[in-house]
Amino acid sequence: MSRPLPPLDLLVGFEAAARLLSFSKAGDEVFVTQSAISRQVKKLEEYLGLALFERQHRSLVLTESGRVLFEVSGEALARLSTTVESLRRGQSEQGVRISTTSSFAALWLVPHLSRFKAQYPDVALHVSADNRVRDLSHGGADLAVRYCAPEQAMSVEHVLLSGEDVFPVCSPALLRRRSLARIEDLGQHSLLHLEDTQNAWPWLQWTHWIRAAGGNAQALDAGLRWSHFDQLVQAAAMGYGVALGSAPLVNHLLHEGLLVAPLSQRVPSPRSFFLRYGARRDAAVDAVATWLQEALGQGA
């Protein structure tokens, strides 16, 4: 363009005055004084080199040039307002994207979502639950809850959310049918196993846990096997056998009485739950991060 457009505030003030035919009412609408609107219109007229209003006694009348500019500016400002509102609404609906494991999402995040929504009703959460490690620096997610060893978390900025303890859990009904007061009593129960062909989670295997808790592991291979930890826990809650549960993931099930922990022994896991930020940092992301830290801290 050979000449730039006039400042937007001059057009806003003019459009309001032309629509209302009053400097005073226009000032009230855009939250400035009557004299400020008058000065804006005068500057716009000087910029264009022509009159936009005929200033009559106690009234304003648009000139022909004023009518032309009003029609164009009114339409342009309306479209601009609609576009800005759409962009703002789209950003709000985008929400906060959380990447986490399937087990954490199913066993901890979903049961606690009602509390989050009660505390932050205007923040939308988009949960991506799988066991892939997403690259947060390239927009993979806004936040990630990582389940890893402390030395892995030290390589990049992570915030500790909670450690992990492992212990036997079962349904109350199962315990009423058969006693489980000592580690040795496990041999009288059907044990639920987490399938781990690559030995990635030895601390979640019965042989490892019994030895770490000071017991004697014998003939523990019999029982149902599950490929996902959340399915294993669900099977225990339904009374299919005794599983190794993980705190904080099973805490709400213990609190609600859907599971019980009959033995006092707990074995700490070599892994913990950590929070990592992505590239985006704003009030919504910080709200989710703060809530995660507080909620997991209270659960621990």
Answer with the residue of higher pLDDT: 11 or 56: 11
* Mean model confidence pLDDT for the chain: 88
Nearest to 52 by CA among 23, 76, 81: 23
Answer with the residue of higher pLDDT: 141 or 264: 264
Q: Give me the pLDDT at residue 155, please.
A: 61
Q: 226 forms bridges with which residues in the sheet?
A: 194
Sequence-ordered alpha helix ranges (H) in the chain: 8-20, 23-30, 34-48, 64-94, 102-104, 110-119, 150-153, 172-177, 206-212, 229-237, 251-255, 283-299
Q: Give me the pLDDT at residue 88, please.
A: 63
pLDDT single digits (tens) 124-181 = 899 988 777 666 665 678 999 999 888 887 666 789 999 999 999 999 999 999 999 9
Residue 257 scores a pLDDT above 50: yes
Answer with the residue of higher pLDDT: 165 or 90: 165
Q: Give me the pLDDT at residue 130, please.
A: 78
Angle (CA) 157-159-162 rounded to 5° is: 145
Residue 1 scores a pLDDT above 70: no
What is the percent of the chain where pLDDT is above 90? 60
Rounded Cα distance, 262 and 171, in Å: 10
Q: Give me the pLDDT at residue 76, please.
A: 87
Q: Give me the pLDDT at residue 29, please.
A: 86
Q: Which of 79-83, 92-96, 107-111 has the lowest mean pLDDT?
A: 92-96
- Kindly state the average pLDDT of the residues 235-263: 96
Rounded Cα distance, 91 and 180, in Å: 53
Nearest to 249 by CA among 222, 276, 228, 226: 228
Q: Give me the pLDDT at residue 194, please.
A: 94
pLDDT single digits (tens) 204-241 = 999 999 999 998 866 566 778 999 999 999 999 999 99
Is the CB of residue 145 less than 8 Å from the CB of residue 103?
A: no
Band of the pLDDT at 81, cuts 50, 70, 90?
Answer: confident
- Count of CB atoms situated within 10 Å of the CB of 224: 14
Greatest alpha-carbon pair distance for the chain in Å reads: 103
